[in-house]
Structure 1
């Protein structure tokens, strides 16, 4: 796809591989400029809402619009398709509809949501959570990145007034229907031998930070029996997370980030922060997994003479996409497969407020959030055509 090729050099991560593009950092700002230029080249009117989300309008903005889009940011060392495929496909779907001579009978917009991955400020779907009011603005503005820069400071540097952040009823009213196209994060469509599918649901999922506090000391001068090492306690949680998830059918639990302080090779850390991602088919199962892991963390801390605190940083209950819209979209595409996903999306946040649907494009590797993430050009083209068909059906 031309659009993906145009942004291939933005945010490339030479250390991790893949891309590191995080909310309102240099790479993300460059991508936002790229999107604005591409939208304007197509004659779309671009605006930035109070929460940093970008909107490109085909025709006059209005309530009850058909909206499509995704995000441009990534996880650290993420792939090229997660997020950008949905944005590029939306722009190319507009091109395809115009080639067909289609004129929307309802307002139509392409949106880029801010900080979907939470790679900089730790809360996923930040732009859509703020827009819908599911995240209090005072909580959001205090979030900070690894350098201590707060969201309020990052917004201000990007030319966005942080005092206006929060639920945006006017923007919500403009969304009559939202359709997000995304590369599949898994092998469902591979196993079904289908290039495009429709989402049924999203697992309940959340993020928790566990902070272990012990006693910093010299690695060589401190006898093993005299240690209160928070890293030892934290290590037990990595194993406990796997055990807890395996005990609940369909559950997933991951420790993907560990930060020791002070972080010296020859120093016992004084504190260790670890971040837990837990998911399951419903709220009760997800909470049960987290409770099991929390109990293991508390026991490990006691055994090592440490303390632990557990903080929930974000959470979303199971999302079931609007059944009528889901079936309507699948039928409009000739009866494509309908399947669940374990990955969270802005569409999942919006689903509690407006009719929402998702399209998936086949990922032959099944890998996502890693440089190996991929979609074949022919499948990407099928995704654009499918999105165009759905937009035409909804915006007639």
Structure 2
């Protein structure tokens, strides 16, 4: 029976956790930052140690490739992202990257040769923490982002994604070379922490994801006019914050009463100029909507659009921008069957699940067979420094991933040349 190396897994997780802008306060690793550069150096170094052919695509996604015996065959890809939310945890994203590294290490240790090429991937900007929208690395791989988009996406300092890429030596204009399709990708497998309490509460080892819910993220901008807090009469004000509140207070009620129980979150709000004695002249906030039914998402978006249209006020301008839209996505039934088979082979307790969080897997599912594995999260906590998954639980999930990758790549023992 193949066994993953728990010590090696722990070392990788803890090593990547060091690359943070907020030491002692969780992981803050934004895409194309100096922390990103340090983490990518570590990942490439470890890929090289495993004998993988290492490359970075034009936009900064990292690949480590083990060629297969079949020439010009499509690759089986395993991995996740290595960026983080501000003050996040050590496992969200890196657990999947480490899974890829450990799978490659096991191929090396047990002398396995894939028939189909094996690629380990570490992707950028899944969280959307720097440029908004999320799953940017995989969306660029899928051809959903243009050079113009990368010029228009800006961080809080006004730096575009294209400019940030260039600082690390990447080229937004060459984004087309990052494209992958079903012609050169046979399958994609991602392991992720659950970020919820179900597996832990049920004392189960592995979640096999059947579907990822649909989601959208929009940005609403409200523009007014600044003025002195003490000398501008109330009836003459164009207060952007007061106007924004008229919308904000209505949003939670828009999802109540929907049969499929969608969720809506206002996760980011910026008030300008943000002075205690200055009337706000601009408010920008994001609205995140998630549902297993695309019709529900569209209905809520129409309600928000009508709310913004009806919110006309003197001196106030409203605008809405879509940052991300993804329909609900089903994972490959064939890969789910393999995952179930391997959980049973390893005597692991598993359950089928729906993911309420978005993952790179939902983008890959648009062009190749895709599977998503969950491992338990302590107390269901994520996106905080307290985020934790026991290394023994992560090891179990990685062993399921490894067995599945062996099947997907049709790997054989180099010495005996007999099928695994």
Quickly name the TM-score band, shorter chain normalised. Answer: over 0.9
Matches within 5 A, 1:1-396: 1-13=10-22, 17-59=25-67, 62-166=72-176, 168-169=178-179, 173-248=183-258, 249-299=260-310, 301-302=311-312, 306-334=316-344, 336-396=350-410
2:413 is matched with which residue?
A: none
Question: Residues 78 and 304 (structure 1 numbering): CA distance in 2 closer, same or farther, change over 3 Å?
Answer: farther
Q: Do the aligned partners of 1:132 and 1:172 also contact (CA within 8 Å) in 2? A: no
Distance in 2 (alpha carbons) for counterparts of 1:326 and 1:290 = 32
C-alpha spacing 1:171/1:53, structure 2 compared with 1 (3 Å): farther
Q: 1:367 to 1:237 in 2, by over 3 A?
A: farther
Tell me, in whole angstroms, the C-alpha distance in 2 between the residues paired with 1:341 and 1:73: 20
Distance 1:296 1:136 in 2: 31
Distance 2:183 2:122 in 1: 17
* Distance in 2 (alpha carbons) for counterparts of 1:292 and 1:246: 13
Query: Shift of residue 311 of structure 1?
Result: 1.1
Moved over 4 A (4+): 167-172
Q: 1:206 is paired with a residue of what secondary structure?
A: strand
Cα distance, 1:3 vs structure 2: 0.5
Alignment coverage as a number of residue pairs: 394
Residue pair 2:208, 2:336 contacting (<8 A) in 1 also: yes
CA drift at 1:272: 0.6
Q: Which structure 1 segments of 5+ residues have no match?
A: none
Structure 2: stretches of 5+ with no match in the other structure: 1-9, 411-420
Instruction: Show CA shifts across 1:33-53 (max 9, x none).
Output: 110011111111101122321
Whole-angstrom CA distance in 2 between matches of 1:195 and 1:30:
32
- CA distance in 2: counterparts of 1:368 and 1:229, whole angstroms: 36
* Pair 1:115–1:317, CA change in 2 (3 A): same
Rounded Cα–Cα distance in structure 1 between residues aligned with 2:242 and 2:181: 48
Q: Which range moves more in the overlay, 368-377 or 345-354?
A: 368-377
Secondary structure of the 1:337 match is strand
Give the TM-score of the pair, scaled to structure 2: 0.88
Once the two structures are superposed, what CA deviation does each residue of 1:142-179 show, in whole Å capped at 9, x if it has no partner? 31211121122122221122221136456653321100
CA RMSD of aligned residues (A): 2.1
Q: What TM-score results when the alignment is normalised by the length of structure 1? A: 0.93
